[in-house]
């Protein structure tokens, strides 16, 4: 009898603890959204509700962010490039404020198809597509599968080949079990995430210093929401099996492809994902920035913006 009451008490305590953690996580998510609210427009495309910003006028640039990111990651480039370009930056499904009505998280190539639909729906023609990190892989898939939607690519520290191990600062996202993903997202992403968030940012920015305001200006705090954490886990797991199918098509890409890397990138190696990519492309070029890390779009935006401008005019860049 006593043992039975003890079991009931333990189960009750666990239920209360779980409910408390979930409530705290939800409060943290709402606080993150208060700090970093939507700044753009919403459009429906094939089961998705995409959030995007549309700034400036001129030649069109479409921006696709990386793993666990959102469109605010491009804030420094949007500010600079919208002076003389029309810049459209979009949240990938499950990131920022973009959602899937079906609840199913789309594969990378399915996400590329959604970006293609956005380009067509907004009548953007054939823009230059800028992709960062995993957004670079998605941009390559977009150009391969939907050539009518891409005039040129400008890829910043892109994932372009299979990575056998999770990149630095992102290992926590490699959770394969959907149940464990849900449990970590809803019970631990806020309390534990806050503890490791700073270290993760340091790892992603290394060797350069993390920008202090990146939580708000770059929208990083939105990644602590449970649904964003879960989407990032799904992207991490899927990308390892999807990535192998993309490189064989690189020789068929005849459009101009500019690849921009920091030589000291601690997340993705410029030789594997820059030099090997350019070697496989008919019309690719590589620019390697000394001292730059994975977040050169934030730490060195003037230089990166100039290189993107060159790519929109099909000029050649060289390694430095």
**What is the secondary structure of 227-268 as a DSSP string?**
HHHHHHHHHHHHHHHHGGGSGGGGGG--S-EEEEEETT-SSS
Query: What whole-number distance in Å separates Cα of residue 51 and Cα of residue 226?
Result: 18
Tell me which of 260 and 31 has the higher pLDDT: 260
Query: What whole-number distance in Å separates Cα of residue 263 and Cα of residue 246?
Result: 24
> Which residues are CB-neighbours of 107 under 8 A, at least 6 positions away?
238, 242
Q: What is the pLDDT of residues 38-68, one digit of tens each?
A: 999 999 999 999 999 999 999 999 999 999 9
Dihedral class, residue 315 (left if φ above 0, else alpha if ψ from -120 to 50, else beta) = beta
Of all helices (H) and strands (E), which one includes residue 223?
none
Q: Where is average pLDDT lowest: 4-13, 108-117, 139-148, 222-231?
A: 4-13
DSSP state of 59: S
Phi, psi of 197 (to 5 degrees): -55, -45
Q: Does the pLDDT value for residue 154 go beyond 50? A: yes
Q: Does the pLDDT value for residue 169 go beyond 60? A: yes
Average pLDDT, the chain: 89
Q: Does the pLDDT value for residue 229 go beyond 90? A: no
Query: What whole-number distance in Å separates Cα of residue 274 and Cα of residue 285?
Result: 9
* Upstream peptide bond of 207 is cis (omega within 30 degrees of 0): yes
pLDDT at position 172, please?
A: 75
- Domain 34-312: CATH superfamily is Alpha/Beta hydrolase fold, catalytic domain (3.40.50.1820)
Q: What three-state secondary structure class fits 320?
A: coil
97 and 319 Cβ atoms separated by less than 8 Å: no
**Residue 184's pLDDT band (boundaries 50, 70, 90)?**
confident
**Interaxial angle between packed helices 226-242 and 134-145, expressed in degrees from 0 to 180 and rounded to the nearest 10:** 60
121 and 45 Cβ atoms separated by less than 8 Å: yes
Nearest one of 259, 258, 262 to 315, comparing CA atoms: 258
Q: Does the pLDDT value for residue 217 go beyond 70? A: yes
Tell me which of 105 and 10 has the higher pLDDT: 105
pLDDT at position 320, please?
A: 40
Question: Measured on CA atoms in the order 194, 173, 294, 118, is the torsion positive or negative?
Answer: negative
Unique residue bearing structure tokens 């997202």: 185
- CA–CA distance from 1 to each of 4, 5, 12, 13, 15 (Å)? 5, 6, 17, 18, 21
> Which residues are CB-neighbours of 125 under 8 A, at least 6 positions away?
60, 119, 151
Question: In the structure encoding, which two tokens stand for residue 37, read together?
Answer: 């609210």
């Amino acid at each position: 009898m006593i043992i039975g009451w003890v079991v009931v008490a333990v189960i009750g305590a666990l239920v209360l603890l779980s409910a408390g953690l979930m409530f705290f996580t939800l409060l943290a998510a709402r606080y993150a959204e208060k700090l970093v609210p939507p700044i753009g427009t919403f459009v429906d495309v094939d089961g998705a509700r995409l959030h995007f910003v549309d700034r400036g006028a001129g030649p069109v640039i479409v921006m696709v962010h990386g793993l666990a990111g959102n469109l605010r990651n491009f804030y420094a480039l949007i500010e600079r490039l919208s002076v003389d370009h029309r810049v459209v930056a979009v949240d990938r499904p499950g990131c920022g404020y973009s959602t899937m009505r079906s609840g199913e998280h789309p594969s990378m190539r399915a996400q590329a198809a959604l970006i293609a639909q956005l380009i067509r729906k907004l009548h953007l023609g054939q823009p230059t597509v800028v992709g960062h990190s995993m957004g670079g892989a998605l941009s390559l898939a977009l150009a391969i599968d939907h050539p009518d939607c891409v005039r040129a690519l400008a890829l910043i520290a892109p994932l372009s080949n299979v990575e056998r191990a999770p990149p630095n600062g992102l290992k926590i996202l490699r959770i394969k079990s959907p149940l464990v993903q849900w449990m970590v997202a809803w019970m631990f992403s806020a309390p534990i995430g806050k503890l490791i968030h700073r270290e993760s940012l340091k790892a992603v920015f290394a060797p350069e210093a993390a920008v202090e305001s990146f939580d708000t200006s770059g929208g990083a705090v939105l990644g602590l929401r449970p649904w964003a954490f879960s989407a990032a886990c799904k992207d991490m797991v899927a990308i390892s099996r999807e990535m192998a199918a993309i490189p064989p098509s690189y020789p068929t890409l005849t459009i101009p492809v500019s690849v921009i890397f920091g030589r000291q990138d601690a997340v993705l190696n410029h030789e594997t994902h820059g030099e090997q990519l350019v070697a496989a492309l008919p019309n690719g070029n590589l620019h390697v920035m000394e001292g730059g890390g994975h977040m050169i779009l934030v730490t060195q935006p003037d230089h990166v913006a100039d290189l993107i401008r060159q790519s929109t005019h099909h000029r050649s860049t060289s390694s430095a």
